Amino acid sequence: MSHTNTPHVLILGGNFAGLGSAQAVRKYAGKDVNITVIDRKNYLLYVPNISTEIFESDHPELEKNLTMDLPSTLAKDNVNFIQGEVTGIDVNRQRVKFNPAERPGAEPQTIEYDFLVVSVGCELAYEDIEGFAEYGDTVSDFYHAKKLFKKLTEDYHGGNIVVGSALFKQGDGAIGLQPYPGGSIPSAKAACEGPPVEVSLSLANWLNQHGKGGPDDITITTPAEMIAEDAGEDVVTQLLEAASSMGFKYVNNTGDIKRLTEHTIEYENGQVINAEIKILFPNWKAYDFLKNLPIADNEGFIVTDLYMRNPTYRNVFAAGDCAAVTVPKLGAIGHQECDIVGRQIAKDLHQLSAEKADVSLQPVVFCIGDMGDGKAFYIHSNSWFGGPEQKLVMGHVPHFLKMQYKRMFMNNDGKVPPWGLDVAEVLAEKIAV
C-alpha cells in the first residue's frame, strides 16, 4: 500500500471516464479507499452537445452550458483532485510522473498507487491533416466550434460543405476478445461517426433556417464501406435512405483525408471534392506517453480484458477512449466501462463479491444525435459486436431525451442514475415518436 495503509486508487484523466470511474470506485469500494484524479484542466468538457449548442442557438453559451467544475464535483465523493499534466507511467514501480499544471514551469512530481485507472482519452489528431489549420473546421471543442459558427454566420454565402472523418488507426489490443457469444471487438475505419451524421443533419436544418441552403449543399464522406457502421447495417440503411431522400450527397470508401486546400478536400483514394467548408473528425490517436508502455498495444491504446483490467499488470485498468476495447470511441461505452472498473477494484478490496463484481463488458452503442428543428435520432445497437439489438428512432422524443440527459448529467454531478438510461430506452423505443 502507498503512504498509508489505506489503498490508493489513482485515476488519470477526469472527463467522462475519469469522473465516472472515480464515482464508481467510491460507490462500490466504500469509504476506506483514497482516490485521486489527475487532469491537466480543472473542468469537465461536455463534448457531445457542442454542435447542438451552436446550431440551435443564435448566441451559443458553450462555457456556461457545457462545463462542470471538477475539484468541487469530485470533493462531494471525497475524491482528491490534482491539476497536473501526466508525463509517464512506471507500471513496475507503481508510480506516475506528472507536472503540476496550475502554473507553467512547475517541477516534475511522482505519485504512487495501488490501483491505476488510465482514462486520459485520446489526442484528436487534426494536425495530421494537411491544411486543416487554414481550411478545416470541427466541433469537438469550444475554440473550433466558435470559429465555425462565425464562419457560417458571417462568411458563408453558399457552396458545398463536406462533413467527414479521417481514417482511424486502431491498434491490435482488442483482438480475440468476445463480448457476445461469437462476436468480437470490430476493426473500425472511423473512430466515432455519430458526430458527422449529427452535424450533417443539424447543419442542414441551420442552413435552411438561415436562408443559406439545406441538405443539397452537404456531402457526407466516410473512409469506411458504410458510415456509422457501429449502428448496424439495418439502422444505417434506414439513416442513409432518409438522408438521400432529403438531398444529402454521400461518398464512402474514401480512405484517409489527404489534404485540404481553400476550395477542395483530397482523399487517399484520389477523389477530390469541392468544398467551401470542411467539417472534419480526425484520427483518435493515443498519447505519446502511453506508446511503448508494457500495458499498451501497437498504437498506444491500453490493453485490457473485458473486465477493463490489463492482463499482465492486474492492478492497472483503463476506461473510455484510451482503452483498446473502446471501439467506437463513444462516451456511452466508456460509461459502461466505469461501472466495471468500480466493481473490479471493489472486488480486489474485498468489498464486493466476485458474483456481483464480475460483470464483463458487453458494449452497447447508445447514441442520440441532434437533427435540428427539435428532432433527433436515437440509436440503440450492439449488433456490430455480435449482439441482437438494432434500433433507430427519429423524432421529437429523442431530442427531448438528448437535452434531458445533459441536464440530468450536469445537475447530478455526472451521476446519471441507472433509471435515466432505462427511462430513455423506454421513451425512445416504446413511446416515440
Ligand X SMILES: Cc1cc2nc3c(=O)[nH]c(=O)nc-3n(C[C@H](O)[C@H](O)[C@H](O)COP(=O)(O)OP(=O)(O)OC[C@H]3O[C@@H](n4cnc5c(N)ncnc54)[C@H](O)[C@@H]3O)c2cc1C
Alpha-carbon Rg of the chain, whole angstroms?
21
Per CB under 6 A, 278 contacts ligand X: no
Tell me the window of 36-44, 221-229, 253-261, 351-359 that interacts with ligand X (CB under 6 A): 36-44
* Residue whose CB is less far from ligand X, 352 or 366: 366
Least Å distance, CB 329 to ligand X, is: 5
Tell me the window of 33-41, 54-62, 347-355, 380-388 that interacts with ligand X (CB under 6 A): 33-41
Interactions with ligand X, residue window 284-303 (CB under 6 A)? 287
Among 7, 9, 11, 13, binds ligand X (CB under 6 A): 13
Tell me the window of 9-17, 60-68, 173-181, 411-419 that interacts with ligand X (CB under 6 A): 9-17
Among 23, 39, 257, 301, binds ligand X (CB under 6 A): 39
Name every residue whose Cβ is closer than 8 Å to that of residue 113 and which is 6 or more positions away in sequence. Answer: 2, 8, 9, 10, 94, 95, 96, 315
CA separation (Å) from 240 to 222, 251, 331?
Answer: 13, 11, 24
Per CB under 6 A, 195 contacts ligand X: yes
Among 8, 9, 16, 149, binds ligand X (CB under 6 A): 16
Per CB under 6 A, 331 contacts ligand X: yes
β pairing state of 115-118 and 316-318: parallel
Tell me the window of 44-52, 167-175, 265-273, 371-379 that interacts with ligand X (CB under 6 A): 44-52
Other CB atoms within 10 A of residue 418 CB: 9
Per CB under 6 A, 38 contacts ligand X: yes
Among 275, 332, 340, 371, binds ligand X (CB under 6 A): 332
Binding mask 98-137 for ligand X (x = CB under 6 A): ---------------------xxx----------------
Tell me the window of 151-159, 246-254, 323-331, 378-386 that interacts with ligand X (CB under 6 A): 323-331
* Residue whose CB is less far from ligand X, 38 or 303: 38
Interactions with ligand X, residue window 213-272 (CB under 6 A)? none
Other CB atoms within 10 A of residue 76 CB: 11
Other CB atoms within 10 A of residue 128 CB: 16
Name every residue whose Cβ is closer than 8 Å to that of residue 310 and which is 6 or more positions away in sequence. Answer: 295, 302, 303, 304, 316, 317, 318
Tell me the window of 330-338, 346-354, 378-386, 404-412 that interacts with ligand X (CB under 6 A): 330-338
Nearest CA among 98, 24, 43 for reference residue 287? 98
Longest dimension (CA), the chain: 66
268 near 255, Cβ under 8 Å?
yes
* Residue whose CB is less far from ligand X, 192 or 260: 192
202 near 348, Cβ under 8 Å?
no
β pairing state of 8-12 and 34-39: parallel
* Residue whose CB is less far from ligand X, 327 or 349: 327
* Residue whose CB is less far from ligand X, 329 or 415: 329
Interactions with ligand X, residue window 360-399 (CB under 6 A)? 367
Which string of b and e fits 216-255 if b means at least 16 CB within 10 Å? ebbbbbbbbebbbbbbbeebbebbbeebeebebbebeebe
* Residue whose CB is less far from ligand X, 46 or 135: 46
**Total number of residues that touch ligand X (CB under 6 A):** 32
Least Å distance, CB 175 to ligand X, is: 21
337 near 308, Cβ under 8 Å?
yes
Among 79, 116, 192, 279, binds ligand X (CB under 6 A): 192
Tell me the window of 171-179, 211-219, 327-335, 352-360 that interacts with ligand X (CB under 6 A): 327-335
Least Å distance, CB 109 to ligand X, is: 12
* Residue whose CB is less far from ligand X, 352 or 381: 381
Nearest CA among 113, 123, 91 for reference residue 293? 91
Taking the C-alpha atoms of residue 381 and residue 366, their distance in angstroms, rounded to an integer, is 7
Instruction: Retrieve residue 380's grid coordinates.
Output: 440503440
Tell me the window of 53-61, 191-199, 310-318, 376-384 that interacts with ligand X (CB under 6 A): 191-199
User: Which helix (H) or strand (E) element contains residue 205?
Assistant: helix 194-209
Taking the C-alpha atoms of residue 393 and residue 1, their distance in angstroms, rounded to an integer, is 50
Task: Provide the CB-side half-sphere exposure for 180 (13 A, CA).
Answer: 15
Q: Which amino acid is at 106?
A: A
Instruction: Retrieve residue 139's grid coordinates.
Output: 466541433
* Lookup result for grid cell 450492439: 382
Interactions with ligand X, residue window 73-102 (CB under 6 A)? 85-86
Contact residues toward ligand X (CB under 6 A) are: 13-18, 38-41, 47-48, 50, 85-86, 119-121, 139-140, 192, 194-195, 287, 320-321, 329-332, 334, 367
